[in-house]
Amino acid sequence: MRLAARDLGWTTGGKRIVDGVSLDIEPGETLGLVGPNGSGKSTLMRLLAGLAPRPKGTVQLDDAPIETLTRRQVAQRIAFVEQIADTSEALRVRDAVELGRTPWLSALAPFGEQDTQIVDDALAAVDMLAMAGNRWSTLSGGERQRVHIARALAQRPRLLMLDEPTNHLDIHHQLTLLRLVCRLPVTVVMALHDLNQAMCCDRIGVMDGGRLVACGPPAEVLTPQRLAMIFRVQATPLHDPFDETTQFRFRCLEDDI
Amino acid sequence: MTHAAIPVTHVKPVAMWGVTGVAVLFGAIFAGVMIGETPLPPRMVLAVFANRLWDAGHLVDPIDAGIIWSYRLPRTLVAAACGAGLALSGVVLQALVRNALADPYLLGVSAGAGTGAVAVSILGLGGGLIGISAGAFGGAALAFLLVAALARAAGGGSAQLILAGIAGSQLFNALTSFFIAKSANAEQARGIIFWLLGNLSGVRWPDVSLALPAAAIGLLACFWFARAMDAFSFGTSSAASLGIAVRPVQAVLIGATTLMTAIMVSIVGSIGFVGLVVPHAMRFIVGPRHGRLVPASALAGAVFLIAADVVSRILIPGQVVPIGVVTALVGAPGFALILLHNRRRP
């Protein structure tokens, strides 16, 4: 599915959170959104998913303007994993993942064998099948995040949006999760804080003050000059001979003054 | 082993549970008709039902027949409808506002309904053009809007909603008392105060034709949106991303809840704790998924209120204890147990 956004904007309390963002997302690509805190990454993702009220600008999913689709039709195409989503209900892991089937079910189309299979696959994809019967309240932060992603996968979306998916995860789970996301046969848009992790994306969009200031392949976009300007850090590219990749090491620019 | 492992969609278990549920409900209604100050034998109850339903022509004392058909049966049916309606209202409010303490009584909806009903019946609001139930609906809707707006303005948290509910309940209860003090004579005042505590004594067949459809509409709405209520588990934003049209679903469900609460309050007064305790108890038994929670709560609410009504009739011989007193006497300790049980678990 191709997503085309034109001149997206969102204002709250007289403050422009997102301003004039135009963006094309190609089928199958993984797009990383980076930017300082409060640069509008989360809001941009909510605008792209049609979840923000009273948006400015247009979003097209293939040839359909998003506002002509019902919420249900959008949810059949786009799954969204929020930064913080918790529940006090005594749900089990499987219950939470089964919620992902909601846009495909109705009172007249109940949960069936095929849905069970999809939920099993989603649980297996995030390595949570063995914990399917565990209660939500007993899960660690990382396990909850993986369940949220399984829930999003069970939605069988064509576009998966993840808002800082590696938050709360230990380094092992961060890496396995990113590997999983990058290998998924769906289009992925994710906000990331770790710039080195963002290097694995096909393209990176850089947000600053609500504007998309750059968008392109990681090596072209994440230059030391741009990182200095936007994140106020000095980035030293280092070469990792293990997999022939470039990683950054960061120092605060203020340290040098 | 886990409740999730039981396939929800298989026809056989669903049909089995459905039949069991209906059987339990009918059993409770039958018991509600039999038991009372004058215990009536089951054969006589069956004979009266047969006479009424297909002119069976059994010989029954007309006084006993009158007690069964005109007094106890409508009363028991209304108790069942009210119990189901109040329990479902609790389920809906707890799901939508994601607060375990949400119920029509605590959020001031019942108090608003009481004020509306009193405004119509005593002040003559609407000049006889609107009925007591319509007045109750207006009061209930106004109370909910006020409480929701106050909670939202105060920051929209869980605690804010409950505090706003307390403020709303106090305000509407005070308005009710004010109307009574201002306009009612001593006889009216006594009747209304007794009614407000929850009272099924005056219930007759016309009340049944109001309460049963209200409960049925509420049950249908809850069934239809059971999956949507599940989707609210992780918040409204999460529900929206799962394809739920949040505003319309909220409007329909809260409308159904307000309607049920208003009609029940206009018939039997405000009865607390059913909407709070029954859904919680059912969550322990059938789990938090609404596909099971909705029918289980409706059934348990109906049976609970029939039982409470029976107790209210036989607790003190020759005297009827207000049913709201009975539900509170059972519900308050029940709720305390739930709180303690919740705390013990990590």
With contact defined as beta carbons under 8 Å apart, do B124 and B138 qualify? no
> What per-residue confidence (pLDDT) applies to B240?
93
Averaged pLDDT for residues A134-160: 91
Tell whether the model's pLDDT for residue A80 goes beyond 80. yes
With contact defined as beta carbons under 8 Å apart, do B225 and B242 qualify? no
Q: Are B233 and A106 in contact (CB < 8 Å)?
A: no
Q: Are A85 and B244 in contact (CB < 8 Å)?
A: no
Q: Are A71 and B244 in contact (CB < 8 Å)?
A: yes
- According to DSSP, residue A240 is labeled E
Cα torsion through B145, B150, B153, B156, rounded to 10: -80
**pLDDT, greater one: B127 or B21:** B21
Averaged pLDDT for residues A82-93: 85
pLDDT tens digits for range A173-216: 888 888 888 887 789 999 998 898 888 899 999 999 999 999 99
> What per-residue confidence (pLDDT) applies to B297?
96
With contact defined as beta carbons under 8 Å apart, do B219 and B226 qualify? no
Q: Between chain A and chain B, how many beta carbons pairs sit less than 8 Å apart?
A: 93
With contact defined as beta carbons under 8 Å apart, do A173 and A15 qualify? no
Interface mutation target, options A42, A43, A51, A71, chain B, most CBs of B under 10 Å: A71
pLDDT tens digits for range A233-253: 988 888 888 888 888 889 887
Taking contacts as CB-CB distances below 8 angstroms, the residues of chain A near B7 are: 116
**Helix, strand, coil shares, percent, chain B, to 5:** 75, 0, 25
Tell whether the model's pLDDT for residue B11 goes beyond 60. no
Taking contacts as CB-CB distances below 8 angstroms, the residues of chain A near B1 are: 133
Taking contacts as CB-CB distances below 8 angstroms, the residues of chain B near A45 are: none
Q: Say how many C-beta atoms besides its own lie within 10 A of residue B224's C-beta.
A: 17
Distance from CA of A202 to the nearest CA of B (A): 25
Interface mutation target, options B8, B242, B290, chain A, most CBs of A under 10 Å: B242
The answer as to whether B12 is a domain residue is no
The answer as to whether B295 is a domain residue is yes
- Please report, for chain A, how many H helices and E strands are present, in that order: 9, 12
Within 8 A by CB and 6+ apart from B155, the residues are none
Residue whose pair of structure tokens reads 């694995």 in the numeric block: A200
Averaged pLDDT for residues B256-270: 88
One-letter identity of residue B13: P
> What per-residue confidence (pLDDT) applies to B122?
80
> What per-residue confidence (pLDDT) applies to B273?
86
Mean pLDDT is lowest, of A44-48, A122-126, B192-196, B238-242, for: B192-196
The answer as to whether B61 is a domain residue is yes
**pLDDT, greater one: A239 or B195:** A239
- According to DSSP, residue B124 is labeled -
Closest CA to B141 of B96, B95, B108, B100: B108
DSSP string of A155-218, one letter each residue: T--SEEEEESTTTT--HHHHHHHHHHHHHSSSEEEEE-S-HHHHTTSSEEEEEETTEEEEEE-H
Q: Which residue is closest to A77 within chain B, CA to CA?
A: B243
The answer as to whether B5 is a domain residue is no
The answer as to whether B11 is a domain residue is no
Extract the tokens encoding A199: 């290097």
Tell whether the model's pLDDT for residue B136 goes beyond 60. yes
> What per-residue confidence (pLDDT) applies to A84?
78
The answer as to whether B340 is a domain residue is yes
With contact defined as beta carbons under 8 Å apart, do B107 and B166 qualify? no
Taking contacts as CB-CB distances below 8 angstroms, the residues of chain B near A70 are: 243, 245
Residue B314 burial by CB count (10 A; 0-12/13-18/19+): exposed, middle or buried?
middle
Strand order in the sheet with A3-12: A15-25, A3-12, A56-61, A64-65
Tell whether the model's pLDDT for residue A256 goes beyond 60. no
Averaged pLDDT for residues B313-319: 84
Q: Are B233 and A138 in contact (CB < 8 Å)?
A: no
Residue B276: CATH number of its domain: 1.10.3470.10
Closest CA to B118 of B163, B184, B53: B184
Distance from CA of B18 to the nearest CA of A (A): 17
Distance from CA of A183 to the nearest CA of B (A): 23
**Helix, strand, coil shares, percent, chain A, to 5:** 35, 30, 30
CA A41, A44, A46, A49 dihedral sign is: negative
Residues of B with CB under 8 A from a CB of A: 1-5, 7-9, 98, 100, 223-224, 226-228, 230-231, 233-235, 237-238, 240-246, 283, 287-289, 346
Q: Which residue is closest to A73 within chain B, CA to CA?
A: B243
* Chain mean pLDDT for chain A: 90
> What per-residue confidence (pLDDT) applies to B2?
44
Phi/psi at B234 (5° precision): -105, 20
CA A154, A155, A158, A160 dihedral sign is: negative
pLDDT tens digits for range B94-109: 998 887 778 888 888 8
Residues of chain B with pLDDT > 90, as a percent, come to 41
Minimal Cβ distance to B4: which of A79, A80, A92:
A92
Mean pLDDT is lowest, of A83-87, A93-97, A205-209, for: A83-87
Helix (H, G, I), strand (E, B) or coil at A16: strand
The answer as to whether B8 is a domain residue is no
Bridge partners, A56 (sequence order): A9
Rounded Cα distance, B260 and A156, in Å: 38
Tell whether the model's pLDDT for residue A146 goes beyond 50. yes
Q: Are B241 and A99 in contact (CB < 8 Å)?
A: no
Helix (H, G, I), strand (E, B) or coil at B202: coil
Q: Are A99 and B240 in contact (CB < 8 Å)?
A: no
- Per the structure, the complete domain to which residue B292 belongs is given by 18-344
Q: What is the ipTM of this complex?
A: 0.88
Rounded Cα distance, A33 and A16, in Å: 18
Q: Are B244 and A49 in contact (CB < 8 Å)?
A: no
Taking contacts as CB-CB distances below 8 angstroms, the residues of chain B near A111 are: 8-9
The answer as to whether B10 is a domain residue is no
Minimal Cβ distance to B237: which of A82, A95, A107:
A82
pLDDT tens digits for range A19-64: 999 999 999 899 999 999 889 999 999 999 999 888 899 999 998 9
With contact defined as beta carbons under 8 Å apart, do A120 and A129 qualify? yes
Rounded Cα distance, A42 and A162, in Å: 9
Residue whose pair of structure tokens reads 């059949």 in the numeric block: A76
Q: Which residue is closest to A45 within chain B, CA to CA?
A: B241
Q: Are A95 and B4 in contact (CB < 8 Å)?
A: yes
Domains: count for chain B? 1
Residue whose pair of structure tokens reads 């709250």 in the numeric block: A12
